[in-house]
Chain A
Amino acid sequence: MVEAENRLEPVIIVNGEEHRVSSDVVTYQEVVTIAFPIPPSPDARYTVSFRDAKEPHEGSLAPSQSVVVRKEGTVFNVKATGKS
């Protein structure tokens, strides 16, 4: 059963675009890399908010954290901000 779920290859939406991911456990780093393959500035901090996920349903990810997504339709917003 666990194997079957891993084979789902969920589709998530990152900053408005669909992406297929390999597991239903999606990490902070994974989403940041999808949104910003190249860091916009050396000191950029990333804020990763999400909604319509499985567990927890919505919130904001800390750098070490991950979230369980639905098969499709979980929405991530990644914002890069810099000190000023």
Chain B
Amino acid sequence: MSRPLVSRSPDLKQLEDEGYDFAITANQLLLRVPYATSGRVVAGGLLVSELTTAGDRTAAPGNHVVHFIGNDADDLPCDESGRSLDWLINQRGPIDLGGGLIASCSFSHKPNPTYANYYEKMTTYADMLLAPAQVLDRDARVRTFPPIPTDEAESVFRYLDSASSRSKIGAVSMKLRLPKVVIVGTGGTGSYILDAVAKTEVAEIHLYDGDVLLTHNAFRAPGAASIDELSKAPKKVDYFKSKIDPLRRGVFAHASYVDSSNIDELRDASFVFLALDGGPAKSFIVAKLREFSVPFVDTGMGIYQVKDSVAGIVRTTFGGTEGSDWSVSDEELDEYDQNIQIVELNMLNAALAVIRWKKAFGFYNDLEKESSSLYTIDGNHIVNEA
């Protein structure tokens, strides 16, 4: 699909925005349409039009004719009682359109004045075929909102991000087009951080974790791992990359822990998420990130059992670059890093960390600018620390 042509041509853009399923090949415009067959069932066909361009955008249609390709080679579109639409059909095929496309007939019907653009031309013919199809099946639709594949040059996503364009927050989303975000640790919290960061336009997401995905990890991770996947004992970073791969490009799996041997790889990061156990390893990374002036968020939780229920605190700490004082001591960190973790608390910690990151880059409004927040479960209460 010729994406620049679509984005520069108002008529093609309107087809795309309104959910029409179309493609452009070799100067032809193809639109997927439902039609009624002679057997009085609804089938899928294609309308094929010439496509006239002027430079990098469409011009007015060169003619008002379209060709029709049915589900079967000699299929003609019919009315709801199975009679071919002879008022519409001006030539019967087969008609060779080139590129392996053989039309069964062509249509020639136009308003006065004629079609001003390709949106009008294609939707008018499509509506002519939809009417009898919808008599046979009320759910027949031309506008199917198909996923639109992208190429590497135009997007990190493998298909067009319709969520942002539908809600019209595209300009705000662009603030997150950062070159490189690093997630250190892909356990419960780290895997959910990846789940959210993957849906932003960050160019590269680098995952660091030397661990293998074990059965208990599957209960603290997004989605569902199969027995087959667990049996292969994949590295966590490879497993999570594979889960995100259908959505986006630019995820890099490093099956190692971050220590003095590779800390330099974090020097050019735009942002770092720390989702690993406390202790010397974390203190070392924090000190280095401060030296590199790389902003980061650290996550951690302290969960304990009170009689027969569970309580605790979820901590999210921001280490900015401008004079911020990353004040949580090693002892405090350790206090929050006990081994009870529960999936929704991992999700919450990840969500708070990602929100804090997005605030740091101006995506969310931020009046508080807290360096740390503590969510207490038993009080359903968040305390911010300056």
B135: contacting residue among A65, A80, A84, CB under 8 A: A65
Please choose the segment from A6-14, A17-25, A41-49 that sits at the chain B interface, where 4 or more of its residues have CB less than 8 A away.
A41-49
Q: How many residues of A sit at the interface, in one of the four size bands?
A: 20 to 34
Whether A58 contacts B143 by the Cβ 8 Å rule is: yes
Q: What mask results when residues 98 to 128 of chain B are scored 1 for a CB within 8 Å of chain A, else 0?
A: 0000000000111110000000000110111
Taking the nearest CB of chain A, how far is it from the CB of B202, in angstroms?
37
Q: In the assembly, what is the distance between CA of A22 and CA of B185, in Å?
A: 66
Contact A84-B134, Cβ < 8 Å, known A59-B141, A62-B80: no
Residues of B68-113 whose CB lies within 8 A of A:
79-80, 87-88, 90, 108-112
Whether A47 contacts B140 by the Cβ 8 Å rule is: no
Whether B138 contacts A56 by the Cβ 8 Å rule is: yes
Whether B127 contacts A56 by the Cβ 8 Å rule is: no
Taking the nearest CB of chain A, how far is it from the CB of B66, in angstroms?
12
Residue of B nearest to A61 (CB): B131
Whether B134 contacts A62 by the Cβ 8 Å rule is: yes
How many residues of chain B have a CB within 8 Å of chain A? 26
Majority SS at the chain A contact face: strand
Residues of chain B lying within 8 A (CB to CB) of residue A80: 111-112
Residues of A52-66 whose CB lies within 8 A of B:
55-56, 58-62, 64-65
Q: In the assembly, what is the distance between CA of A41 and CA of B126, in Å?
A: 22
Whether A47 contacts B90 by the Cβ 8 Å rule is: no
Residues of chain B lying within 8 A (CB to CB) of residue A60: 126-128, 130-131, 134
Q: What mask results when residues 315 to 327 of chain B are scored 1 for a CB within 8 Å of chain A, else 0?
A: 0000000000000
Majority SS at the chain B contact face: mixed
Taking the nearest CB of chain A, how far is it from the CB of B64, in angstroms?
7
A73 within 8 A of B: no
Residue of A nearest to B123 (CB): A49
Residues of chain B lying within 8 A (CB to CB) of residue A40: 112
Q: In the assembly, what is the distance between CA of A72 and CA of B38, in Å?
A: 37
Q: In the assembly, what is the distance between CA of A82 and CA of B108, in Å?
A: 8
Whether A59 contacts B64 by the Cβ 8 Å rule is: no
B131: contacting residue among A58, A65, A81, CB under 8 A: A65
Taking the nearest CB of chain A, how far is it from the CB of B18, in angstroms?
10
Whether B90 contacts A59 by the Cβ 8 Å rule is: no
Whether A81 contacts B141 by the Cβ 8 Å rule is: no
Whether A62 contacts B135 by the Cβ 8 Å rule is: yes
Residue of B nearest to A51 (CB): B143
Residue of A nearest to B36 (CB): A62
Q: What mask results when residues 116 to 158 of chain B are scored 1 for a CB within 8 Å of chain A, else 0?
A: 0000000110111011101100111101000000000000000
B109: contacting residue among A45, A55, A61, CB under 8 A: A45
Residues of chain B lying within 8 A (CB to CB) of residue A56: 134, 138-139
Residues of chain B lying within 8 A (CB to CB) of residue A61: 131, 134
Residues of chain A lying within 8 A (CB to CB) of residue B132: 62
Residues of chain A lying within 8 A (CB to CB) of residue B80: 62
**9 pairs of A and B residues whose beta carbons are closest in the complex:** A60-B130, A60-B127, A60-B131, A62-B131, A81-B109, A49-B127, A59-B134, A47-B127, A56-B138
A residues with CB within 8 A of B: 40-41, 45, 47-49, 55-56, 58-62, 64-65, 79-84
B residues with CB within 8 A of A: 64, 79-80, 87-88, 90, 108-112, 123-124, 126-128, 130-132, 134-135, 138-141, 143
List, sorted by A's number, 23 A–B pairs whose CB atoms are closer than 8 Å.
A45-B87, A47-B131, A49-B123, A49-B127, A49-B130, A56-B134, A56-B138, A58-B141, A59-B140, A60-B127, A61-B131, A62-B80, A62-B131, A62-B132, A62-B134, A64-B135, A65-B134, A79-B111, A81-B109, A81-B111, A82-B110, A82-B112, A83-B108
